[in-house]
Amino acid sequence: MTLTDAPDRAATSSLGARALALVKQREVGVLAAFILVVAVTTAKNPNFLFSNDGFRDLLVTPSLLMLIAVGQAMVIITRNVDLSVGSVMGLTAYLVGTVFVDMPWLPWPLVFLIGLAFGGLLGLINGAIVAFAKVPSLVVTLGTLYAFRGINVMWTGSDRINASDMPRDFLDLGTSAIWRIPIITIIALVVLAAAGWYMTTQRGGREFYAMGSDPDAATLYGLNVRRRLITAFVVSGALAGLAGVLYAARYGTVNSQVGSGYELQAVGAAVIGGVAIFGGSGTVFGAAIGAFLLMTINRSLPVLGVQDFWQQAVVGALIIGAIVLDSLAARRQERTLAKERERSHG
Amino acid sequence: MTAPPAATPAAPALVLDGVAKSFGPVVALRSGSLTLRPGSIHALIGENGAGKSTLVKIIAGLYQRDAGTFEYLGEPVDFGTTAESKGAGIAVIYQEPTLFPDLSVTENVFMGRQPTLSLGRIDKRAMRAEVVALFEQLGVHVDPDRPTRGLSIADQQLVEIAKAMSLDAKVLVMDEPTAALSGVEVERLFGVARALRDEGRALLFISHRFDEVFDLCDTVTVMRDGEYISTSAIADTTVDRLVREMVGRDVTDLFPKTVAPVGDVLLEVEGLTRTGVFHDVSFEVRAGEIVALAGLVGAGRSEIARAAFGVDPYDAGTVTVAGRRLAGGDPAAAMRQGLALIPEDRRRQGAVLDSGIARNVTLTIRDRLTRAGVLTSAAENASAREWAARFEVRAPSLDTLAGTLSGGNQQKVVIAKWLATEPRVLIVDEPTRGIDVGTKSEVHRLLSDLAGQGLAILMISSELPEVLGMADRVLVVHEGRITANLTREEATPEAVMYAATHDVEVAR
């Protein structure tokens, strides 16, 4: 080993340094892109940032997606995906509205708990099927995406919950702010901080990464893969539920289509934010910034006068670009590995 | 080698007796027995498929035994999961390191049992400090903070060993840890193993390399065909005796290949290289010949075959079929040239299990059976009936789903499927894996007949008797290189085993 030591270590540090730089680059890069988009759009129309409404929209609109993207990132890191989050969000939003209509005497902060619990329960259904029936999560959550939405449509019909059905205090949450930071955004940031704390400092969070990095090795290590899997889906469901509650507060109207399409936006946000689609790497912070970038681009393109069709294309290009970037990095690493093996074989 | 310590042997750390394990109809382990003592390095040797890895996985708690007894530190135990055996102090280092490529070296060492502070926070500083201390003790220079992706196999092994040491394991099992290591790295590993032995731990060392077994171990257990054969002190045995015990049967007349006239070169492989997988592989196969690619699992035989057929890419070299050079990476072109590959994993790569026999057999020749763009069942059945009859596929009807057939009959369907393309060169990877003994000889007879009809056959096999019985010539692959090219007469079990475990390049 002494013979190969020097080049080995050189390769080690430069590779490690490069990998670290890349990770940093991604989150920093996405943040820079976000700032750039805001700057360019504001230059065209100062109201985008500087008007009261503009500033609030800039922070509030991505907050709901951010909540879902954080949950989604946790699931993707375990090498799974949760496509049902949009439907969970919709169903929870309607449930919350119904609770207000049927039980107006209930103290309104309690609906947060109801939303979290109900979303978590739907997530538990996903997680249990994936963990025990060993069906790929892509299929399971595609199924529940339709099933939950179907229940929602059946339950709601052409009905809808209106702002007048909900308590004033609750609706105020959607518009009020502390030091100009909207409450909804503060809630989302608190959740993000908690999720980030869990993913970096807790055994459970680290095991999410381990499972996604190599599922077989996770079993050989004796990790409780099943329990972690279910946890990830419950968290994802609960956060989608929370997003449903906040949606009701923010928009005041809930019909049967709330949250549809959010699932793919959440996957997109996570991927743009550097969460590897095959699991094992990425951070919830990256996914959160990805959500901000994605939503802000959606809002800024019309301001910049870009046609509807091209708006979609830009988002698509962003997602593909992110994935191509990841796979290029992975391939380069693979090649380095093959060369290293070659060398050690002499 | 130091003398085995202590005149009175310590109480065994681990005793397995008469342990058996089957997977459906396939018996992986008939009767495994093993006794490990503290302060000893115990070798476990045997051919591929002798049941060594199954035994290891039972010790690790990954598999649960069907029968037999398992005692650990004097107590009968039943490990339901790897976590249980690990918790009890058994560390297993698998043949392929099982690390999490995206996580740091430190995290890999402690995954699942990280030291924690208040609120369940992982104590990263303590973890790192312990890894640094362990690496110092091991004399390893690996950055504890780098991800394990891209570490050399040797360094990955050392991370695994650090993992085992941090567990304070009483029993350490190493399944072929040296397979991918160079000489210096092996020496370093052995130094660590001896140090662990001297601390009073029990080590189990699985290896195909006799020099290593004799260098490192004090006791050796031989297994063959899923059964315990013998245990002896290293000082009391010889390589010859161990090889005899490993091979252990009369192999020459089990699978007789009839002699066929040898014709032109139909498959010629020249200097085939894929970086990191195989190097400068050259050989030829003539009409009427069966050439075996022998060697240990993981030596790169299947990879060579897959590259020659064009499923995998290669970096250098040429493949020529019947005088015409193949473009690399194009299986369809290879098939047109008359090359056929019957892959190793029948269930996943060979047979379409959810389709009927007829559909399976005609899969490769659909274009030819199609009339005006329509493929009729009648055409399929007519073609398939002929093949099924020729191969004596035993099934109720041609619509019987391939998945419901026995392993032997599935294999016949797969072979029929490829023969329907009328190939000139047939590559078969492990033609009889998982097939019962009776059907095995039928598959062998079939291959022998095909060679007699002028096909050139390249057969990859890990079963020594099959190699010796069937092959006109034996090419032995060791770590991605061909280390021997033996004629039928030269191909003794010992010669093949030797070439499969040694680096020497034999002149061809």
In this predicted model, what pLDDT tens digit does every residue of B219-250 receive, in sequence order?
999 988 888 988 989 888 887 788 778 776 54
Residue indicated by tokens 């993992």: B163
Least confident of B48-57, B79-88, B192-201, B247-256: B247-256
In chain B, which residue's Cα lies nearest the Cα of A282?
B102
Least Cα distance to B461 among B449, B477, B448 occurs for B477
| Residues from chain A contacting residue B112 (CB–CB below 8 Å) | 203, 207, 210, 221-223
Chain A residues 189-218 with CB within 8 Å of chain B: 201-203, 206-207, 209-210, 212-214, 216-218
DSSP state of B7: S
- Label each residue of B192-213 as H, E or C: HHHHHHHCCCEEEEECCCHHHH
Domains B14-99+151-247 and B265-501 equal at CATH topology level: yes
Considering chain A, what percentage of its residues have pLDDT values greater than 70?
A: 89
- Report angle CA B127, A330, A314 to the nearest 5 degrees: 115
Task: State the pLDDT at residue A7.
Answer: 37
- Per-residue pLDDT averaged across B346-363, rounded? 64
What are residue B321's DSSP bridge partners? B267, B324
Within an 8 Å CB–CB cutoff, is residue B146 touching chain A? yes
Interface touch A210/B103, C-beta < 8 Å: yes
Confidence of residue B306 (pLDDT cuts 50, 70, 90): confident
Burial class (CB in 10 A: 0-12, 13-18, 19+), A107: exposed
Q: What are the tokens at B355?
A: 């389709």
**pLDDT confidence of residue B154:** 74
pLDDT in the model for residue B94: 80
**Does B57 contact A at CB distance below 8 Å?**
no
Q: ipTM of the predicted structure?
A: 0.77
The shortest CB-CB distance from A338 to any of B82, B180, B275 is to: B275
Residue pair B407/B434 in contact by the 8 Å Cβ criterion: yes
Give the pLDDT of residue B181.
67
Mutate to test the interface with A, among B59, B142, B146 (most CBs of A within 10 A): B146
Q: Which of A217, A222, A276 sits opposite B86 (nearest CB)?
A: A222
- Give the pLDDT of residue B507: 39
pLDDT at A25: 64
Of 3.40.50.300, 3.20.20.70, 3.40.50.1820, 1.20.1250.20, the CATH number of B265-501 is: 3.40.50.300
Residues A88 and A242 sit within 8 Å (Cβ to Cβ): no
Tell me how far apart the alpha carbons of residues B109 and A211 are, in angstroms, rounded to a whole number: 15
Q: What is the mean pLDDT of chain B?
A: 80
C-alpha B207/C-alpha A275 separation (Å) is 40
Q: What are phi and psi of A175, to 5 degrees?
A: -120, -20
Q: Say if A336 is an interface residue toward chain B (CB within 8 Å).
A: yes
CA A308 – CA A293 distance, rounded (Å): 18
Q: Which residue did the predictor score with more confidence, A126 or B446?
A: A126
Contacts of B418 (CB under 8 A, 6+ apart): B340, B341, B342, B364, B426
Nearest to A213 by CA among A230, A201, A225, A202: A225
pLDDT tens per residue, range A143-172: 999 999 999 888 888 788 888 888 888 888
What's residue A81's pLDDT? 93
What single DSSP character describes residue B254?
Answer: S
The pLDDT value given to residue B418: 77
- B19 against B209, higher pLDDT: B19
Residue B101 touches chain A, beta carbons under 8 Å = yes
Phi, psi for residue B226 in degrees, rounded to 5 = 75, 10
Percent of chain B with pLDDT over 90: 7
- Which of A202, A336, A337 has the CB atom closest to B120's CB atom? A202
CB contact under 8 A, B122 and A209: no
Least confident of A201-210, B134-143, B288-297: B134-143
Distances (CA, A) of A207 to A201, B206, B423: 11, 30, 50
From chain A, pick out residues whose CB is under 8 angstroms from the CB of B275: 338-339, 342
- Tokens 């109900």, located at residue: A118
Task: Say whether residue B24 is in contact with chain A using an 8 A CB cutoff.
Answer: no
Structure tokens at B98: 């099982």
Q: How many CB atoms lie within 10 A of CB A200?
A: 16
Give me the pLDDT at residue A164, please. 82
What is the 8-class DSSP label of residue B472? Answer: S
| Bridge partners for B19 per DSSP | B32
Does the domain at A23-336 match CATH 1.10.3470? Answer given as yes
pLDDT at A339: 65
Instruction: For B97-157, give the DSSP string.
Output: ----TTSBHHHHHHTTS--B-GGG-B-HHHHHHHHHHHHHHHT----TTSBSTT--HHHHH
A and B: number of Cβ contacts within 8 A: 129
- The residue among A213, A231, A342 with the most chain B CBs within 10 A of its CB, best to mutate, is A213
A203 contacts in B (CB within 8 Å)? 112, 114, 116, 120, 122
Which position has the token pair 């020594």? B464
Whether the CB-CB separation of A156 and A250 falls below 8 Å is answered with no
Distances, alpha carbon B241 to alpha carbons A320, B204, B245, B248, B260, in Å = 61, 20, 6, 10, 35
A chain contacts of residue B141, beta-carbon cutoff 8 Å: 5, 8-9
The answer to whether A317 and A297 have CB atoms below 8 angstroms apart is no
Looking at residue B508, its pLDDT comes to 39
Strands B456-460, B290-295: pairing kind: parallel
Q: How far is it, in rounded angstroms, from Cα A222 to Cα A218?
A: 7
Chain B residues with beta carbon closer than 8 angstroms to that of A224: 83
Average pLDDT value for residue range B46-74:
86
Q: How far apart, in Å, do the first and last CA atoms of chain B sit?
A: 36
3-state SS of chain A is CHHHHHHHHHHHHHHHHHHHHHHHHHHHHHHHHHHHHHHHHHHHCCHHHHCHHHHHHHHHHHHHHHHHHHHHHHHHHCCCCCCCHHHHHHHHHHHHHHHHHHCCCCCCCHHHHHHHHHHHHHHHHHHHHHHHHCCCHHHHHHHHHHHHHHHHHHHHCCCCECHHHCCHHHHHCCCCEECCEEHHHHHHHHHHHHHHHHHHHCHHHHHHHHHHHCHHHHHHCCCCHHHHHHHHHHHHHHHHHHHHHHHHHHHCCECCCCCCCHHHHHHHHHHHCCCCCCCCCCCHHHHHHHHHHHHHHHHHHHHCCCCHHHHHHHHHHHHHHHHHHHHHHHHHHHHHHHHHHHHHHC
What's the pLDDT score for residue A86? 93
Q: Which two tokens stand for residue B460?
A: 């990859």
Question: Helical H runs in B420-458?
Answer: 437-452
| Three-state DSSP string of B383-398 | HHHHHHHHHCCCCCCC
Listed residue (B317, B269, B261) closest to B288, CA to CA: B261
Nearest to A213 among B61, B92, B100 (CB): B100
The architecture CATH gives domain B14-99+151-247: 3-Layer(aba) Sandwich (3.40)
Enter the DSSP assignment of B347.
I
Give the gap in angstroms from C-alpha A137 to the nearest C-alpha of chain B: 21
- Domain range list for chain B: 14-99+151-247, 265-501
Chain-centre distance of CA A19, in angstroms? Answer: 23
A2 contacts in B (CB within 8 Å)?
Answer: 184
Lowest mean pLDDT among A268-277, B75-84, B88-97, B308-317: B88-97
Per residue in A264-288, is it b (16+ CB within 10 Å) or e — as a string?
ebbbbbbbbbbbbbebbbbbbbbbb
Alpha-carbon separation of residue B266 from A264, B285, B306, B327, B423 (angstroms): 53, 6, 17, 16, 11
Give me the pLDDT at residue B97, please.
Answer: 67
Contact A341 B153 (CB under 8 A): yes
* Nearest chain A CA: its distance from B78 CA (Å): 15
Give the number of residues written for chain B.
508
Domain spans of chain A? 23-336
Coil, strand, or helix at residue B493? helix
pLDDT given at position A228 = 92
β-strand B227-233 against A181-182: which pairing, if any? unpaired
Q: Which residues contact B194 (CB under 8 A, 6 or more apart)?
A: B2, B41, B216
DSSP symbol at B298: T
Residues in chain A with CB shorter than 8 Å from the CB of B62 are 219-220
What pLDDT sits at residue A345?
Answer: 46
Maximum mean pLDDT: which of A134-148, B201-215, B245-259, B443-457: A134-148
Q: Which residues pair with B427 in a beta bridge?
A: B341, B458
Distance CA B380, CA B398 (A): 10
Pairwise CB contact (< 8 Å): B143 & A12:
yes
Give the least confident one: A325-329, B204-208, B249-253, B445-449: B249-253
**Does the beta-carbon distance from A339 to B276 stay under 8 Å?**
yes
C-alpha span between B255 and B444 (Å, rounded)? 7
> What pLDDT, on the 0 to 100 scale, is given for residue B3?
45
Per-residue pLDDT 10s for chain A (346 aa) are 333 333 334 344 555 665 556 555 678 878 888 888 888 888 888 888 888 788 888 888 899 999 999 999 999 999 999 999 999 999 999 998 888 888 878 888 888 999 999 999 999 999 999 999 888 899 999 999 999 999 988 888 878 888 888 888 888 888 888 888 888 999 999 999 999 999 998 988 999 999 998 888 888 888 888 999 999 999 999 999 999 999 998 888 888 888 888 999 999 999 888 888 888 888 999 999 999 998 898 888 888 888 878 888 888 888 888 888 777 877 776 676 666 555 554 4
For the cut 60, the answer to whether the pLDDT of residue B57 exceeds it is yes
pTM of the full predicted structure? 0.69
Q: Which of A118, A68, A58 is nearest to A295 (CA)?
A: A58
Task: List the alpha helices (DSSP H) in B371-436.
Answer: 377-391, 407-419
Q: Does A2 touch chain B (CB under 8 A)?
A: yes
**For residue B97, what are its two tokens?**
């390191």
Q: Which residues contact B340 (CB under 8 A, 6 or more apart)?
A: B418, B419, B421, B423, B425, B426, B427
pLDDT digits (tens, 9 = 90+) for B6-42: 445 678 889 999 899 887 767 788 888 999 999 999 9
Would you state the structure tokens that stand for residue B134, as one six-digit string? 């362990």
The alpha carbon of residue B156 is apart from the nearest alpha carbon of chain A, in Å, by 12
